[in-house]
Amino acid sequence: MSLLYCRRILFFILLFLYLFSYPSWGAAPKKPPSLCSIPYPSDDSVEWECRQLRNNETLEGLFGDRWTDVARFNRVDRRHAHAGVSIKVPRVMEEIRDFTPMPLSYPPAEGEAKFILVDLSEQFLGAYELGRLVFSRPIATGEAGNETPTGEFRITAFHRHHQSSAYFIEDTDIPYPMNYALRFHVNRMGVSYWIHGRDLPGYPASHGCIGLYDEPMQQTYYHYPRTPVLEDARTLYEWVITPLPDDGRFRILKEGPRVLIVGEAPRVVNSASK
């Protein structure tokens, strides 16, 4: 047997091992997160079971016109509800109709025309008028190491088509869009914190800002979903700035709504179902 022949055999053996064993040689592939492992205080109010999404399964296909309820209950957008991800599925769907963990009334805000309450523990935001909840929405707040600040703040600026100056759309040089941005804090280092449209992966994932659904943005930059439906960032933005005119440019807002941020963002724990 020639030396050249032996080298060829060795080459194909190594190629075979590389193709079929590579994950064990390098870093392990990142597993899709289980949204069942994200604990919220309100989980105790709804009976649910954990279900892992299979290939070609979508929220719309599984739950019909109730898919928005399931998405909001899991604090996840459709782009992140894909095969391999485990979600919480209520045993009785009616229990999550118009689901909100936010209090229907908030007496400390009874004297304020507009007031925003953010509960990091629930990953939910509530908009109040004279202390009465008018709408509430799921959010994605700061990840570990980039926590969203807690305490009392106020909306001080708005910008319909804001963009990040530090972060980009994955694998591009396109600044990450922060549509319908409402600034609520500027820290001592001059870093601004905003409430704005972004991805909602189902767990705290931002660099400190507070994100709400913006499916039109996802369709523009990620081409999914094909038909945008959820526009929570726009809903909150227009509620805050009305009746002020908006020409799309950055604007300072005097005496904007007060924002109270409470609680602590959840961390992933090893629980399967409830």
Report the Cα 134 to chain-centroid distance in Å. Answer: 21
Question: Domain limits at 230?
Answer: 107-262
| Same domain, yes or no: 42 and 170 | no
Contact (CB, 8 A) for 212 and 184? no
Q: What's the one-letter identity of residue 63?
A: F
Give alpha helix (H) positions in 26-159.
Answer: 59-63, 67-74
Predicted pLDDT of residue 171: 73
Residue 274 belongs to some domain of the structure? no
Predicted pLDDT of residue 274: 37
Residue 19 belongs to some domain of the structure? no
Biggest CA–CA distance in the chain, Å, is 92
Residue 184 belongs to some domain of the structure? yes
> How many folded domains does the chain comprise?
2
Contact (CB, 8 A) for 141 and 123? yes
| Same domain, yes or no: 118 and 216 | yes
Q: Which CATH number does the domain housing residue 126 bear?
A: 2.40.440.10
How many CB atoms within 10 Å of residue 264? 10
From first to last of its 274 residues, what are the pLDDT tens digits of the chain? 554 454 555 454 444 433 333 332 223 335 666 999 999 999 999 999 999 999 999 999 999 999 999 999 999 999 999 999 999 999 999 999 989 999 999 999 999 999 999 999 999 999 999 999 999 999 999 999 999 999 999 999 999 998 876 666 777 777 788 899 999 999 999 999 999 999 999 999 999 999 999 999 999 988 999 999 999 999 999 999 999 999 999 999 999 999 999 999 998 554 443 3
| Same domain, yes or no: 81 and 123 | no
Predicted pLDDT of residue 32: 60
| Same domain, yes or no: 192 and 157 | yes
Predicted pLDDT of residue 267: 82
| Same domain, yes or no: 87 and 147 | no
